[in-house]
Structure 1
Amino acid sequence: MKHFPKSLQQKIEQRKANNALRQLPVANDLIDFASNDYIGFAKNEILFHDTHQFLLDKNIKVNGATGSRLLSGNHSLYNEAEDYIAQFHKTEAALIFNSGYDANVGFFSSVPQRNDIILYDELCHASIRDGIQMSNAKSYKFSHNDLEDLERLLQKLITYNSELITVYIVTESVFSMDGDCPNMEELTNLSEKHGAYLVVDEAHALGVFGECGQGLVQSLGLQDKVFARIMTFGKGMGCHGAAILGSQELKSYLVNFARSFVYTTGLSPHSVATILQSYKHLTKGKEALEQLKANIIFFNQEKMRLGMKPMFVYSKSAIQCAIIPGNENVKKIANQLQQKGFDVRPIVSPTVPEGQERLRFCLHSYNSESEISNVLELLATFVF
């Protein structure tokens, strides 16, 4: 076998020098402040057994989809799940993708056309940015959650482009590395004012916001003002996959032109059944969601009590981030917390900008108040 290419080895060595080399973590039994399993669905035994029984009741004993959904892989559970999801989210249609990454890449690489314009929040997820890079449309970023900067761009670009163009505004309802949210009411008003199409990634809002975890957009009653919502199931829903919500025309377009949908094997019946059962569990009981909301409030109260509010990014979501600059510094503090039994992970550059390194606390319905108090008190001793 040939030696590993020098150019690639140099990139690895550079990561090591910056204390930023990524490695796969080892499973642990620490108190969970790291996973995206916000309401405990990933480890919910009732949900697990309900999915199994649902498949048995339908006499479905198949391990795989067998092919692309456009060939042999569009099994009956897809239609049932997509209809249920569309009804749950009060939209015309839903189209399931294999992952949130696939959904974003598929949408942004195919929907915006050559003469279109994409305006995206500078902190949008890598999957959105990758999809935009694959698009033929022109793209411009606006300052994070800064609607004045967004409107400045809108006025400038629409003025300079006399031809009829389509403008897409792209944001997230909860930003994964900050946990903060845009002002959705003002954003929808701004998009309507300029005739733009609003696209919202709700990956970290599904299962967290709304009476039944419908997401931030729907909790505010704004679903009819958004062109497309991307719902990812690997976070609050505790399973895998994603769906793009929108009109029937959008669904038909994606089925025809989204390459990450067309050219891939579909999800297995078991995966789709788990998605469907997860949605049904959202409507069955609200205890986990209510407990999560209580834990978010308590976490914010505790960081104020301990005088730690200034070091945290403002957030009312399940993601709470303490800014601790420097890869080495933030890794050191994360390791100290882990040694005390708390699974808190550092987010280092280049995932976030240099100087914005942070500890990311993911809150869950199953975290106790004592766990929240203890981990924040420990953090206070390490940083003060």
Structure 2
Amino acid sequence: MYLLDTLREGLAELDSRGLRRHRRIAETACAAHMRVDGREIVGFASNDYLGLAAHPALAAAVAEGAERYGAGSGGSHLLGGHSRAHAQLEQTLAAFCGGFVDAPRALSFCTGYMANVATLTALAGRGTTLYSDALNHASLIDGARLSRADVQIYPHADTDALAAMLDASDAGVKLIVTDGVFSMDGNVAPLATLLALAERHGAWLVVDDAHGFGVLGPQGRGVVAELALRSPHLVYICTFGKAAGVAGAAVIAHETVIEWLVQRARAYIFTTASPPAVAHAVSASLELIRGDEGETRRAHLRALIERTRAMLRASHWQPVDSHTAIQPLVIGDNETTLALAARFDAEGLWVPAIRPPTVPVGTSRLRISLSAGHSFDDLARLENALSRIEAGGNA
């Protein structure tokens, strides 16, 4: 059949360029040590930065939430699906993360992707100019495209270039959009300068802190709190499927911004609310994140990060200067990157190969993702495998 043949040809082209993606099957809970595709491995692939995904307290909270609220929400947030668990989570989040703005309010979403698309399409539109960092996550890119705004891409973290673009703009509404921590490089956006530009030009600053929430800032309140930023121009987005160990996301901003999203964000209005049991578990996760256990886990993670940075600086390849749990090692071409990932896999280490279009062409990399669930013995195993691979020894 012609239509299937065109797809087969496209898949064959992906194969020829080393770009086809493959799923692996995890047979145990997400953790530093897992059983994947029938083998025991040490995983450096997940975003479970605090090692909470398999925490007994969160598993118990999911069960408790399901017992109290059932398996599903049954409807959209505006048509019966907004439970007491959702409301409590939003109130807690506004108090926990909303110190950057007067009258903070939070709005929960099923996924971070949905939160980003909802926010950008509701705040931007025809006649709006949206300024997006060149390395923003795909969800921000898609939200920008769907917003119908005039989208201008500024070079990664280049605030001088962005300032020139803003100076040249006569748009009535402007949005500056950035990751807080960039998911493939692990570096932190220059948020203080971005906020100064937003205030000077009367623009919104939308920060997707998917990889900073729970890890950075006092009590894990994220990158905005770490930098002690405060402004009504800020719109903060955090997700719960990474450091929080559960699922979902939230937008936190001035109460007027949130009310506008409730009225105009199609990705919020026209979808079934997440199961209340999930929101109940996220509330339990916040208790861990902001408590003594969360601080202990963040301290251990920081020590792991510094040890990994030293390890990668001594390698043959090019590490990215990251002070976060995302520790990339840039290899370059797709084939070599895939071959190295396979060598690590043979050693029982899951170190994923990241290739275009996720990263720019010529910058394929191994993305080492650290978790507080890792031990220094796990890092020693990774370092020994890296040394053998660099030396060309048998894997």
Q: Shorter-chain TM-score: what band?
A: over 0.9
Q: Give the Cα–Cα distance (whole angstroms) in 2 for the partners of residues 54 and 254 of structure 1.
A: 27
Amino acid at match of 1:166: V
Match of 2:29 in 1: none
Q: Which structure 2 residues correspond to residues 11-26 of structure 1 after superposition, within 5 A?
A: 11-26=10-25
Which of 189-198 and 325-334 deviates more?
189-198
Q: Give the Cα–Cα distance (whole angstroms) in 2 for the partners of residues 345 and 292 of structure 1.
A: 20
Shift of 1:307: 4.9
Q: Give the Cα–Cα distance (whole angstroms) in 2 for the partners of residues 371 and 88 of structure 1.
A: 33
Correspondence 1:344 to 2:351: yes
Correspondence 1:192 to 2:199: yes
Q: Give the Cα–Cα distance (whole angstroms) in 2 for the partners of residues 333 and 383 of structure 1.
A: 10
Q: Give the Cα–Cα distance (whole angstroms) in 1 for the partners of residues 241 and 19 of structure 2.
A: 25
Task: Tell me: CA distance 1:191–1:87, structure 2 relative to 1, closer, same or farther (3 Å).
Answer: same
Q: Give the Cα–Cα distance (whole angstroms) in 2 for the partners of residues 62 and 276 of structure 1.
A: 17
Shift of 1:317: 0.6
Match of 2:30 in 1: none
Amino acid at match of 1:17: S
What TM-score, normalized to structure 1? 0.92
Q: Give the Cα–Cα distance (whole angstroms) in 2 for the partners of residues 378 and 243 of structure 1.
A: 39
Q: Give the Cα–Cα distance (whole angstroms) in 2 for the partners of residues 340 and 226 of structure 1.
A: 48
Task: Tell me: CA distance 1:73–1:61, structure 2 relative to 1, closer, same or farther (3 Å).
Answer: closer
Which of 42-51 and 331-340 deviates more?
42-51
Correspondence 1:42 to 2:22: no
Shift of 1:135: 1.1
Where 2:332 maps in the other structure, the secondary structure is: coil
Deviation sequence 1:215-259 (CA, Å, 0-9, x none): 111111114365211101111111111001101111111111111
Amino acid at match of 1:32: G
Q: Which structure 2 residues correspond to residues 1-384 of structure 1 after superposition, within 5 A?
A: 4-27=3-26, 28=36, 29-53=40-64, 60-91=68-99, 92-157=104-169, 161=170, 165-224=172-231, 226-285=233-292, 286-304=295-313, 306-307=314-315, 311-383=318-390
Question: Is contact 1:321-1:361 (8 Å) kept?
Answer: yes
Q: Give the Cα–Cα distance (whole angstroms) in 1 for the partners of residues 282 and 165 of structure 2.
A: 39
Which of 222-231 and 265-274 deviates more?
222-231
Q: Give the Cα–Cα distance (whole angstroms) in 1 for the partners of residues 259 and 108 of structure 2.
A: 12
What TM-score, normalized to structure 2? 0.90
Q: Give the Cα–Cα distance (whole angstroms) in 2 for the partners of residues 4 and 37 of structure 1.
A: 40
Q: Give the Cα–Cα distance (whole angstroms) in 2 for the partners of residues 64 and 280 of structure 1.
A: 23
Q: Give the Cα–Cα distance (whole angstroms) in 2 for the partners of residues 179 and 300 of structure 1.
A: 12
Deviation sequence 1:63-106 (CA, Å, 0-9, x none): 11011111111111111110001000025100001100111111
CA RMSD of aligned residues (A): 1.8
Shift of 1:3: 6.6
Question: Is contact 2:176-2:205 (8 Å) kept?
Answer: yes
Deviation sequence 1:168-196 (CA, Å, 0-9, x none): 11111110111111222222222222222
Which of 290-299 and 120-129 deviates more?
290-299
Shift of 1:47: 2.5
Amino acid at match of 2:346: Q
Amino acid at match of 1:333: L
Where 2:139 maps in the other structure, the secondary structure is: helix
Q: Give the Cα–Cα distance (whole angstroms) in 2 for the partners of residues 14 and 97 of structure 1.
A: 36
Which of 64-73 and 190-199 deviates more?
190-199
Q: Give the Cα–Cα distance (whole angstroms) in 2 for the partners of residues 223 and 344 of structure 1.
A: 38
Where 1:5 maps in the other structure, the secondary structure is: helix
Question: Is contact 2:65-2:278 (8 Å) kept?
Answer: no
Deviation sequence 1:262-311 (CA, Å, 0-9, x none): 1111111111101111111112222111111111122113334x355x71
Identity, % of aligned pairs?
A: 31
Task: Tell me: CA distance 1:268–1:50, structure 2 relative to 1, closer, same or farther (3 Å).
Answer: closer
